[in-house]
Amino acid sequence: MRKITAGLFIALDGVVEDPQDWHFPYYNAEMGAAVDAQLGAADTLLLGRVTYDGFADAWPDREDAGGEDAAFAKKLGDARKIVVTHQEPAFTWRNSEVLKGELLEAVTALKREPGGDIGMSGSVSVVRQLLGAGLIDELHLLVHPIAIRKGLRLFEPADTTLPLTLLRSTPFETGVVHQVYGPGEHLSGGYEDAEQHLAQDD
């Protein structure tokens, strides 16, 4: 079954809104390599409509410009791009299509198709739903050492918890930490269990 990887720029306080306003000072070669490994390596992109529109407005022009990011822009252009939307947009970016059907059923079917990784970037509302359904295999959080203190956060208030498993963690020179999580399981225990691990006086 194909793997879904989702990547987000996120502040220390969980804010993911408008990263273009705060994350660029932290962008270095380490982060570029991490983004390329997660998103650039995918042969299919699954994007929410807002994220797709932002990408479609920028990356084709960057590919045509032939600058330093043209190779990455070409990877995104060559990838199959599936957009989660209730509209029927007139796509201008090549290899773009609308996800057909109900989200969870359609994504489950997509994972069963032959092919490589399915990459996601941004698309917070879609990521939330797929995380809740256990359909995201790797959640890549590029945690920036800054608190934005306003704006949309990745995890919204809910009556249930969402356990995750830390797969790996890599600090960058800028102070950004690349944390990769997979699905987790709910744990049980109370203070009596924790007490066994408290430091004891001699």
76-100 per-position pLDDT tens digit: 999 999 999 998 888 999 999 999 9
> What is the predicted pLDDT for the residue at 202?
60
- Looking up residue 122, the CATH number of its domain turns out to be 3.40.430.10
Is residue 200 one of the residues assigned to a domain? no
pLDDT digits (tens, 9 = 90+) for 6-51: 999 999 999 999 999 999 999 999 999 999 999 999 999 999 999 9
Report the chain's mean pLDDT, rounded to a whole number: 95
Q: Which domain holds residue 155?
A: 4-195
| Whole-prediction pTM | 0.94
Distance CA 138, CA 176 (A): 18
Query: Has residue 201 been placed in a domain?
Result: no
In a domain, 73, yes or no: yes
| 201 has a pLDDT exceeding 80 | no
Indicate whether 37 belongs to any domain.
yes
pLDDT of residue 152 exceeding 90: yes
Q: Does a structural domain hold residue 38?
A: yes
Region 155-184: what's the mean pLDDT?
96
Outline where DSSP puts E strands in the chain.
4-11, 44-48, 80-84, 96-98, 118-121, 138-144, 164-171, 177-183
Q: How many domains is the chain partitioned into structurally?
A: 1
